[in-house]
Amino acid sequence: MVQVRSLARYLEAFAPLAYQESYDNAGLIVGDPDMEVTGVLVSLDATETVIDEAIAKGCNVVVAHHPIVFKGLKKLNGRNYVERTVIKAIRNDVAVYAAHTNLDNVAGGVNFKIAEKLGLQQVRILAPKTQILSKLVVFVPDNDLQAVLSAIYDAGAGRIGTYEHCSFRVGGTGSFKPLDGANPTVGEIGRDETVGEHRLEVILPAYLESSVVAAMQKAHSYEVPAYDLYPLNNANQEVGSGAIGELPEAMNLQDWLGYLKGQMQLNVIRYTPWRGTPIKRIAVCGGVGSFLLNDAVRAGADVFVTADYKYHEFFDADGRIVICDIGHYESEVFTKDLIAQHLSKQFRTFAVILSDTVTNPVQYFT
């Protein structure tokens, strides 16, 4: 039996809620965490129609990219589509989970899915986040070293990019004098003691500080382990906004626009004038991406693929780059495939179904 909380825990291991933007509302929005999952419907949005589809297909969980609730609801009387959706989900015991900007902000997330659709190579985060890493320094007696290492690794420390179990250690001598009331593992009350120790250093995500320290303390034999936690300003190359990569071969503008339209299944592309240079390096951001324009330019991108550009914002390209606005829904619709792929690999006791409902509120007359 798989409970909703297990489903949420798995999704949050890949896209931690700590990485969502401050305005966001990712996570379990509606539903009982202890409810058994009978089926999952994956959609870009959670709307009334999507809830109806989930009920019809025997799914009691909807996993969507966009949260149905962004602001606090003071009343639930069905006066708008948000309230009606929440009411319908509650009445029919359908849980609603959202993986939004936390899924945008991780390597392998939404923007990496766009890069995959475009066949980009050497893909990396466009604007890595800073101040989300910490360093733990702990002084460990020689006999405890492997136990402490294993414990903090299991708790999520020591991962850098595509490497794990990363640490630095150097041997030395620790000294202490137990006082009355102490219960020392080594030494005697009132006597100075020296012990062979290692200074152990590991990097960890800041949001895991409490769990990593707890794991260290449990594995450490000392009554009061000596340790330090330092906030780091290092850029975390695995977390941040947008993505950038290279096309296998350069294209001219017309070939690029045709390729983009076909790969992303677009009705229309709004774009700025081409500066005439070959198009090879592509920056992408699903949904609203204008805040990343200067990052894309600094990274040497020839094109910036994103959505929701306003008229005056297009002038900001200023001949430096081609902005391609492909629409919000269109830029993120393949997020459904990304989520479904992850869930299908992990869970085998229930169906994971892609929603057939087109939730795009924008229609095109062609």
Distance of alpha carbon 194 from alpha carbon 206, whole angstroms: 32
Q: Is 328 one of the annotated binding-site residues?
A: yes
Q: What are phi and psi of 186, to 5 degrees?
A: -130, 140
By three-state DSSP, how is residue 172 classified? Answer: strand
**Order of strands, edge to edge, in the sheet holding 27-30?**
27-30, 95-98, 61-64, 39-43, 351-354
Question: DSSP readout, 297-349?
Answer: HHTT-SEEEEE---HHHHGGGTTSSEEEE--HHHHHTTHHHHHHHHHHHH--S
By three-state DSSP, how is residue 175 classified? Answer: strand
Q: Is 66 one of the annotated binding-site residues?
A: yes
| Amino acid letter, 59 | C
The distance from CA 92 to its chain's CA centroid, rounded to whole angstroms, is: 29
Per-residue CA distances from 124 to 113, 139, 240, 287, 288 (Å): 12, 35, 10, 18, 19
CA atoms within 13 A on the CB side of 208: 22
**Cβ distance 62 to 37 under 8 Å?**
no
Distance of alpha carbon 358 from alpha carbon 361, whole angstroms: 9
Cα angle 137, 224, 142; round to 5: 60
> What one-character DSSP code corresponds to residue 163?
B
Q: Is 188 one of the annotated binding-site residues?
A: no
Q: Is 165 one of the annotated binding-site residues?
A: no
Nearby residues of 210 by Cβ (< 8 Å), 6 or more positions away: none
| Amino acid letter, 34 | D
Q: Is 356 one of the annotated binding-site residues?
A: no
Instruction: Give the orientation angle of helix 110-117 with respect to helix 335-346, to 10 degrees.
Output: 110
| Amino acid letter, 363 | Q
Beta-carbon neighbour count of residue 97 at 10 Å? 24
How many Å is the Cα radius of gyration of the chain?
Answer: 25
Annotated binding residues for a divalent metal cation, written as ranges, equal 65-66, 104, 328, 332
Annotated binding residues, written as ranges, equal 65-66, 104, 328, 332
